[in-house]
């Protein structure tokens, strides 16, 4: 193997960072809701509109996703990194994260899953679980969800180009406490 | 739904952008290799080390991934956006992309899959296909791969923090011709 490269061990997945980090929220209106940070979540297909997430088997929020069959994916800006980081480091089994982090939820989604109102996300996706694959990893479920609705801040998003990257600073996770965000826009040209 | 949000239609997946874009390469040494841009690819699990990718069913590179059972994931910096964009816009069925884009490949990987030597990536992952799920979307296969090896530029990466985000500018795809990159580092603190 070429000299300039170092072989990476346990932290091989850092090669695929940075990437957006989200808050996945789930639960029933009349029971304790759950939410957690998740960055291993991505679009799966346009036809039909689906997303896929690798969710820790032991997480409280994951059990709510499986129980209720619905969840929201909340997208944040760099300014909310403390909230997102903390959401990913304390357990909803041991703590009432909603009151501890002063979170407000709303259940006005199509699926009935809670979306986060405060701290206010840049946008969110409302998703219904389509399939859960449990036997592809020891530590996570691969959760595939139908996109039932997608909502973005009017001032920061348009359907042609997506996020206005000159205005918005999307929160991405690097490693541990380290987060990053997008820079401006670089337009590519076709070489051939 | 709250006033400030706009309901997003077909381009719902832009809500999950920007995200890193990679070059997935596959094929046999003695035959035509294939490579293409892919940004719907992420870590799946630490135990065992696995990645998951949504690969277009009709792509030449995808057929090579399925045939050979191996591929590499090559990570690029913002400077190589023209190469990556073009790799994603021309078909390996119709064109000899290797010569058209002046690409050099090396087959010294554990899996035997080609990795790209020129243009030089920041790092790459060597992966063996573990499972292909074909029935979760019309347009893509969900390809799950074991991470056999991971290699990163020594000067830009360390195993504790991953990419040195003060030095490196990772290529991320926004929409169409628009790419972005990471900004610097923001350190989060725990709120509770």
Q: What is the pLDDT of residues B38-81, one digit of tens each?
A: 999 999 999 999 999 999 999 999 999 999 999 999 999 999 99
Task: Examine the pLDDT at A2 and tell me if it is beyond 70.
Answer: no
Element housing A134 (H / E): none
Over pLDDT 70: what percentage of chain B?
Answer: 98
Q: CB-based contact (8 Å) between B135 and chain A? A: no
Interface probe for A, chosen from B6, B15, B91, B126 (most Cβ of A below 10 Å), is: B15
Q: Which domains does chain A have, with CATH numbers?
A: 15-180 (2.30.110.10)
Residue B121: C-alpha distances to residues A130, B38, B80 (Å): 36, 14, 9
Q: What is the pLDDT of residues B85-136, one digit of tens each?
A: 999 999 888 888 999 999 999 999 999 999 999 999 999 999 999 999 999 9
Q: CB-based contact (8 Å) between B49 and chain A? A: yes
Q: How confident is the model at residue B171 (pLDDT cuts 50, 70, 90)?
A: very high
- What are the two backbone dihedrals, phi and then psi, of residue B106, each rounded to the nearest 5 degrees? -135, 140
Element housing B32 (H / E): none
Residues of A in contact with B90 (CB under 8 A): 192
Task: Examine the pLDDT at A103 and tell me if it is beyond 70.
Answer: yes
Q: What is the model's pLDDT at position A139?
A: 96
Q: Residue A158: beta bridge partners?
A: A162
Residue B91: C-alpha distances to residues A85, A117, B51, B58, B174 (Å): 41, 44, 24, 10, 21
Which residue has better confidence, B183 or B160?
B183
Q: In chain A, where do the E strands start and end?
A: 5-7, 19-20, 22-26, 34-38, 41-45, 50-56, 70-75, 104-106, 115-118, 123-133, 140-153, 157-158, 162-163, 172-175, 178-180, 186-187
Task: Examine the pLDDT at B138 and tell me if it is beyond 90.
Answer: yes
Q: What is the pLDDT of residues A120-165, one digit of tens each?
A: 999 999 999 999 999 999 999 999 999 999 999 999 998 888 999 9
CA distance A59 to A53: 13
Min Cα–Cα distance to chain B from A158, Å: 8
A136 to B157: CB separation less than 8 angstroms, yes or no: no
Q: Calculate the average pLDDT of chain B.
A: 94
Q: What is the model's pLDDT at position A160?
A: 85
Over pLDDT 90: what percentage of chain A?
Answer: 84
B151: cis peptide before it, omega within 30°? no
A148: cis peptide before it, omega within 30°? no
Residues of A in contact with B83 (CB under 8 A): 191
Answer yes or no: pTM beyond 0.90. yes
Over pLDDT 70: what percentage of chain A?
Answer: 98
Q: CB-based contact (8 Å) between A176 and chain B? A: yes
Q: Which residues contact B144 (CB under 8 A, 6 or more apart)?
A: A136, A142, B44, B50, B51, B52, B129, B130, B131, B132, B133
Contact call for residues A171 and A179 (beta carbons, < 8 A) = yes
Residues of B in contact with A176 (CB under 8 A): 161
CA distance A158 to A142: 30
Contact call for residues A72 and A61 (beta carbons, < 8 A) = no
Q: Calculate the average pLDDT of chain A.
A: 94
Task: Examine the pLDDT at A91 and tell me if it is beyond 70.
Answer: yes
Query: Which among A101, A144, A191 has CB closest to B136?
Result: A144
Three-state DSSP class for B100? helix
Three-state DSSP class for B60? helix
């Amino acid at each position: 193997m070429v000299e300039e490269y170092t072989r990476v061990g346990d932290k091989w997945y850092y090669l695929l960072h940075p990437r957006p980090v989200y808050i996945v929220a789930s639960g029933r209106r009349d029971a304790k809701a759950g939410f957690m940070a998740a960055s291993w979540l991505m679009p799966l297909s346009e036809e039909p509109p689906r997303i896929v997430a690798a969710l820790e088997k032991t997480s409280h929020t994951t059990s709510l996703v499986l129980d209720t069959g619905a969840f929201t994916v909340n997208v944040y800006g760099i300014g909310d990194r403390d909230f997102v980081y903390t959401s990913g480091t304390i357990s909803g089994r041991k703590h009432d994260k909603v009151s501890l982090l002063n979170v407000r939820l709303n259940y006005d989604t199509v699926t009935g899953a809670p979306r986060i109102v405060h701290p206010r996300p840049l946008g969110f996706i409302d998703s219904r679980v389509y399939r859960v694959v449990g036997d592809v990893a020891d530590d996570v479920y691969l959760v595939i969800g139908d996109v039932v609705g997608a909502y973005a801040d009017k001032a920061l998003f348009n359907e042609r180009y997506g996020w206005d990257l000159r205005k918005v600073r999307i929160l991405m996770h690097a490693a541990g406490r380290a987060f990053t965000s997008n820079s401006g826009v670089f337009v590519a040209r076709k070489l051939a």
